Each structure stands twice: as C-alpha cells, then as structure tokens.
Amino acid sequence: MGHREDFIAALQQATAGTPYAVTPTEGGFDVALEVVDAQWYGLFNKAGLTKTYVHHVRVSEDGSYSVTDDSRSVEWVAGVPRVSAEASRQVGRVKEFGVQKIWAFDEHGQMAKVVDYRFNSEEGRDLVTTVGNHLGLKQERGTSEKIGLWVALLTVAGLVVCGIVIGILALAGAL
C-alpha cells in the first residue's frame, strides 16, 4: 500500500466510533463530521451545531501531506441537518473556538441547562496530524495557506516601501 492508503486506513481506525468520517478523494481524502448520520445528528441538533469543517488532505508520493480547512454552515430544517457553503466561506487554515451554554425551563418547570456545547475547529485537523505524525509523514502548508502567507508578506513589504517613500518625500520637502 502507498502513503495515501496507509493514511486513510489509520484514520478510519482512529475515527471508528466517533462522528468523523474519512472519505477518499483523488490524491488524498476528506475528514469531516458526519452530521447526517442518525447516530450523531440528534446530538448535533441539541448542541446547536451551526458550523462544520471539511479537512481536505492531499498526500504526495514522497510521504508529505497538506491539510486545507473548509468552513461550512449547518442549517437545521425541521430537526434534520443540511450542510451548505456559506457566503463567507473560509478555506485555508481556519481556527475557531466557541462555547455555548443555554439555560431554560425544562418540561418539569425547572431551570436546567439545555445546551452545553464546546466547539474547536482544530479537532478534525488534530486527528489528521496525529495520525500523520504516527505514520512518519511530513506535513506541509496547503496551497491556500501559502497564497495567504505570500499576500500578507507582499502587503507588509508594500507598506514598508510606501512608508520609506513618504519619509523620503517628507524629508525632501515635497509633501
């Protein structure tokens, strides 16, 4: 078996009994919460899950891999989840954390916690990197992440150059 097949098999074993699903793709695989699985969607609905992530993993022949996070919104229609891409879709390296606790009166008229939910977008990515490290694979930045870093670097460089030009013009009295 190749790196991709070993990686998929190890991740499927690591995610057994969890709400995560590993789906093979061309050149890699995706790891995501299985929100439409009857075993889990009641829990997700009760918790008020509104976002989920697909971690797109690309595996190279040399044993390296990259992970690209894809943020998606979850919409509950009559208690059934429907995953959709949002207008503010995020792709690349996404880190989001959240906690939601809601107290309300229960069916017996007692104040009770009806929602107690913690959210960490890194959970699925951590599964991938832990298994990848265990297999001795090397993680690299994904294409979206590299583009974002280059844009940030070029923006900072452009601001520095503009600052120098403005400083020179101000010293020369041209401003």
User: What is the per-residue pLDDT across 69-127, written as a single tens digit (0 to 9) for each?
Assistant: 888 776 666 555 555 544 445 566 666 656 656 667 777 788 876 656 565 667 888 88
Coil, strand, or helix at residue 168? helix
Specify the pLDDT at position 107: 75
Find the mean pLDDT for residues 40-68.
Answer: 79
Q: Considering the chain, what percentage of its residues have pLDDT values greater than 90?
A: 17
Same domain, 111 and 152: no
Q: How confident is the model at residue 145 (pLDDT cuts 50, 70, 90)?
A: confident
What gap in Å lies between CA 54 and CA 33, rounded to an integer? 8
Domain count, the chain: 2
Higher-confidence position of 47 and 69: 69
Same domain, 97 and 53: yes
What gap in Å lies between CA 175 and CA 170, rounded to an integer? 5
A 10 A CB-CB count for 21 gives 19
Query: Within its chain, how far is the Cα of 75 from the centroid?
Result: 18
Q: Considering the chain, what percentage of its residues have pLDDT values greater than 70?
A: 67
Q: Are strands 80-84 and 28-33 parallel, antiparallel or unpaired?
A: unpaired
**Domain range spanning residue 161?**
141-175
Residue 41 has pLDDT above 90, yes or no: no
Same domain, 156 and 132: no
Same domain, 171 and 134: no
Find the mean pLDDT for residues 142-164.
Answer: 84
Same domain, 127 and 60: yes
Find the mean pLDDT for residues 123-140.
Answer: 87
Specify the pLDDT at position 87: 44
Same domain, 11 and 22: yes
